[in-house]
Amino acid sequence: MTELWTVEVDSLVCVGSGLCAGSAPECFTLDTSGRARPPKAPVEAADEVLEAAENCPAAAITLRKTTGGEEIFAP
Ligand code: SF4
């Protein structure tokens, strides 16, 4: 069974670089102010989503396992 992750973006620290939306466009979108929005629903675990979190210049992205809430990546 595919693991699902819950994606959070701290909009107070996001600087709107757009890197996450560029590397994982199926997961991250940018709102009208240019800040990232996470998906409303959990996403399938994927390298590009993890890389987006790791490479966020503002350390704004947190990933958790949807079942159990274990952190996959936290800034
Ligand atoms: S990579 Fe980080 S700072 Fe850049 S838009 Fe995404 S969440 Fe915001």
CATH number at residue 15: 3.30.70.20
Residue ranges lining ligand 1, Cβ < 6 Å? 9, 14-20, 28, 35-36, 56-58, 60-61
CA angle 45, 52, 56 (to 5 degrees): 145
- Residue 6 tokens, joined: 């819950």
pLDDT by residue, tens only, the chain of 75 residues: 789 999 999 999 999 999 999 999 999 999 999 999 999 999 999 999 999 999 999 999 999 999 999 999 999
Distance in angstroms (rounded) separating the CA atoms of residues 24 and 27: 6
Ligand 1: residue of 14, 27, 49, 63 to mutate (most ligand atoms within 8 A of CB) is 14
Integer-rounded Cα Rg, in Å, for the chain is 11
Q: Is residue 47 packed enough to be buried (19+ CB in 10 Å), middle (13-18) or exposed (0-12)?
A: exposed
**pTM of the shown model:** 0.95
Q: Which structural domain, as residue segments, surrounds residue 14?
A: 4-73
- Tell me how many domains the chain contains: 1
